[in-house]
Amino acid sequence: MFTGSMVAIVTPFKNGSIDEGALRKLIDRQIENGTSVIVPCGTTGESATLTHQEHDRVIAITIEQVNKRVKVLAGAGSNATHEAVRLNKAAQKLGADGTLHITPYYNKPTQEGLYQHFKAVAASADIPVVLYNVPGRTAVNMLPETVARLSKIDAIVGIKEASGSLEQMKKIIEMCPKKFEILSGEDALTLDMMKLGACGAISVTANVVPKECAQQDRLVREGKIAEAESLHQKLLPLHQAMFFETNPIPVKAALAMMGLISEEYRLPLVPMGAVNRERLKKVLEGLGII
């Protein structure tokens, strides 16, 4: 359902508002270069600082611009279950193919709380749901046992796993049905995760090099592991550069250097520091991106 090279797309701003023209161009660029799923309103899309109206608008723009050429997996997570339910219903109404739901952040629910949260979300609309586990940003780790419980709910079709633990991913694969989709949430680990059984990645790096990310995915599927390894090593400095500072600061800085967006963030995010900006520039230059 949601497989291949997917992009957690940025939300470009201009003068404090969504830059609709730039977003539409970014979407076209992704599709033209082999991206299989567009994921708006994730962490990389600065969902935390979008108003509900803006959140819905970004998803609507994405669905309209994609025009069924690829799938749209709309970010709809929240640390308040009632809000996640609202976002889930809105995404269905707008026409998304599925929704991506991060584990509730800051309030640190128990494993039972996580189960009940996602169970309520899944029951709220007739749309496929993908879980998202990223303890480095949420302060809660959804354990494989909880994922396995949730995988029995028909509407919950997969997980974006970004715990940084290949062992945890292996346990999820072992404990969940074969049809349950495991997606990499960390570009630097995508190749290793796919070799273990992941069926794709929701990528930050794909914002910058969609063609190369799609190529790596294709090489793995074709069994050309040595070629995929070579490409992975080439892209590794870029994967690392995307986290010189808090995501999405580096990726937006990179896209601005490439002339694709205006470099604009919303507080509390601020532009990159001079030292890290120069480091990022050297990586992009080294890869011939700028």
Terminal-to-terminal C-alpha distance of the chain: 34
Mean pLDDT of 96-105: 98
Report the predicted TM-score, pTM, of the whole model to 2 decimal places: 0.97
Active site residue 160: yes
Backbone angles phi, psi at 4, to 5 degrees: 95, -160
Domains in the chain: ranges and CATH: 4-222 (3.20.20.70)
**pLDDT at residue 279, rounded to an integer:** 98
> pLDDT confidence of 143, banded at 50, 70, 90?
very high
According to the model, what pLDDT value does residue 94 have?
98
pLDDT band, very low/low/confident/very high, at 149 (cuts 50, 70, 90):
very high
Mean pLDDT, the chain, as a whole number? Answer: 97
Q: Which of the residues 71, 105, 115, 132 is marked catalytic?
A: 132
- Which pLDDT score, from 0 to 100, does residue 232 have? 98
**Which residue type, as a one-letter code, is found at position 131?**
L
Looking at residue 4, its pLDDT comes to 97
User: Nearest CA to 121 among 102, 144, 96?
Assistant: 102
> Which class for 274: exposed (0-12), middle (13-18), buried (19 or more C-beta within 10 A)?
exposed
The residue from 105, 160, 252, 265 that is catalytic is: 160
Per-residue confidence (pLDDT) for residue 25, from 0 to 100: 98
Q: What is the pLDDT of residues 208-262, one digit of tens each?
A: 999 999 999 999 999 999 999 999 999 999 999 999 999 999 999 999 999 999 9
Average pLDDT over residues 85-92: 98
Query: Is residue 115 annotated as a catalytic residue, yes or no?
Result: no
Banded pLDDT at 278 (limits 50, 70, 90): very high
